[in-house]
Amino acid sequence: MKSSDHLWQRGRQYYLKLAIPRKLRHHFPSSTGTPRSKIVEPLSDSYALAKVLAAQRVGRYLEVFARLKTGEQLTPEQIKAAVTPLTAWLPIPTPIQYELHQQLPNGDWERVPTARPLGAGETISQAAEHWFIDMQRDAGAAVKQTTLAGHRLRVKAFVEHCGDIPLTDITRAVAADFLAKVAGGRSNRTTNTYATTLAGVFKSAMHRGRFTGNNPFDGQKRKVGGESYEAFEVSELQTLFDSFKFEVTPKHTPETALPWVSLIAAYTGMRLEEIAQLQASDIRNEVANGSTVTVIDIHNGGKNSLKNESSARLVPVHSALVRAGLLDYVKALPQDGLLFPGLKRRDSKGGKIGARLGELFRKKLEALGLKRDRLCFHSFRHTVATALEVAAVSQTDTARVLGHTIPGMSYGVYSSGPGLKRLAGVVEEIAYPGLKLHGAFPGRRLGG
C-alpha cells in the first residue's frame, strides 16, 4: 500500500490516516480536549472503495487546512461541516454504489443512483451532534465528558456498521439488525446502552422537528433481569493473588499496577475507574475521634469522574492492604502524581484511565483458567458485598463502603469524626477465611 493513499489497514477494515500540520492541531481536539496529531477515520473493508473514499476525504481536509492557515477562524462544528459531504453534492458512495460504478462503461458516476437524494434530511451523525450540543446546553457542567464520549463511540459504531445514513432510512429492521450485530460477545446490559444512545438521537431529532414517525430504537432493549456479576470464590482469589508480583518501587506500567489495583478492589469494593484515577495523595490520614484513620479519598474534581454523587466517599484502608505493603508503595511515590503513574487515558475508551487494566485482568483470568460468564473485575464489588453480608453488616454500612445511594441519608455522616472510626471497623469485616497473601514481602505469609 502506498503512503500517498493515506490508507491504514487494521484487520479487514481500512482507515483514513492523515497527519495534521503541527500549527493547526489545536483546531482538532480529541474527546479529552488534547490536540490530535492526525485524522483517523474508518472507510471500508474494500481496498478499492477505501482508496476512493480516502481521496475524497483528503481533498476536503486539505482545503480546511488551507483555510485555517490563512487565519480563518473555524469552530470544530464548522470544520466537521466543511469535511462532510452536503446532500447537494455527490455523496460518498456506498459499497453497492461502488459495485454499480465498476460495472458501468468508463466508470460513469452520474449514472449511479445516489443513496442520499436532496431533502433526505439529517444523517445519524448530524442528528447526534445536535443532541450533544443540546445536552450540554441544557445540563451544563452536569454532563460528564466520559458520558458524551460514550455516546459518541456508540454513534460511531452505528456509522461504521450501517453508514452515515439519513434518519429516514433507519427502520426498526435496521435498528434490530445493528443491535444484533453489537450483541455478539456482549451482555444485554451493554447492548442496551447502544439502544439508549441511538433512541436519544431520534428523540432529540423529533423534538427539533427533523424526524417524524416512530422511534426505531424504542422497545429494542433486551432483558437483563437474569444477568448479574458473580463473586470470586476464596480458592479463585488465592490462585489470582499467588500469580501476582507486588512491587513497592516498580517500573510503573499497567502490568505492575494490576496486582495492587486488584488487591485494593478485593478489600474495598472500589470500581476499577475509581482506583485507576486515584492520586498518591488520595491515600492519607484522617483524624477521627482522637485517633488516626488511614483512608482512601474517592472524589470528583480535576480529571476524576465518578459514576454518581453517592460514589464520593472516604473508605478506611483495610489492615490486609497495610500488611501487604500498600502504604510502603504509596510512600515511594511523589505525592503530586497518580497512584499508578503507568496508566494513560484512552480516547478510544471515552477518556477512561483504567481501560487497559480491565483488558489485562480479563487476560489474567483466562490464563489462569478462572474466566467464566459474569466473572470479571467488577466481580470484586460483589465479592466484597458478599463478605460484608456474611459478617452481618447492615445494608446501610455496606452502601457507605461501596458508594451506593442511601435514600434520605447524607453521605457526610462518615466524612469525619467518630463515624469514620466506626466505618474502619466495618471495613475490617471484609474477610476471606483461608486466603494467604504474600503482598510486597515474599518471605511473609499474611492471613487474609
Whether residue 318 contacts residue 267, with contact meaning beta carbons closer than 8 Å, is answered with yes
Whole-number pLDDT of residue 413: 43
Main-chain dihedrals φ then ψ at residue 17, nearest 5 degrees: -130, 110
User: Which residues are registered as beta bridge partners of 288?
Assistant: 291
Compute CA distances 235 → 151, 338, 402, whole Å.
Answer: 39, 32, 23
Residue type, 328: D
> DSSP letter at 80?
H
Q: Are strands 283-288 and 38-44 parallel, antiparallel or unpaired?
A: unpaired
Whether residue 64 contacts residue 79, with contact meaning beta carbons closer than 8 Å, is answered with yes
Whole-number pLDDT of residue 142: 54
Alpha-carbon span 323 to 345, nearest angstrom: 30
Whole-number pLDDT of residue 347: 76
Whole-number pLDDT of residue 83: 76
Residue 90 makes CB contacts below 8 A (sequence gap 6+) with 109, 114
One fold for 120-227 and 234-447: no
234-447, CATH topology level:
hpI Integrase; Chain A (1.10.443)
Torsion, Cα 310 316 317 318, to 10 degrees, reads -100
**Residue spans per domain, the chain:** 1-84, 120-227, 234-447
| Count of all residues that appear for the chain in the document | 448
Whole-number pLDDT of residue 5: 65
pLDDT tens, residue by residue, 230-249: 889 999 999 999 999 999 99
In this prediction, the residues of the chain whose per-residue pLDDT falls under 50 are 1-4, 86-119, 141, 408-418, 448
Residue 319 makes CB contacts below 8 A (sequence gap 6+) with 428
User: Which residues are registered as beta bridge partners of 16?
Assistant: 7, 41
Element (H, E) at 293: strand 291-298
Q: Is 432 left (phi over 0), alpha (psi -120 to 50) or beta?
A: beta
Buried b (16+ CB within 10 A) or exposed e, 159-170: beebbbbbbeeb
Whether residue 20 contacts residue 29, with contact meaning beta carbons closer than 8 Å, is answered with no
This prediction has a pTM of 0.55
Please provide the CATH number assigned to the domain covering 120-227: 1.10.150.130
pLDDT tens, residue by residue, 244-264: 999 999 999 999 999 999 999
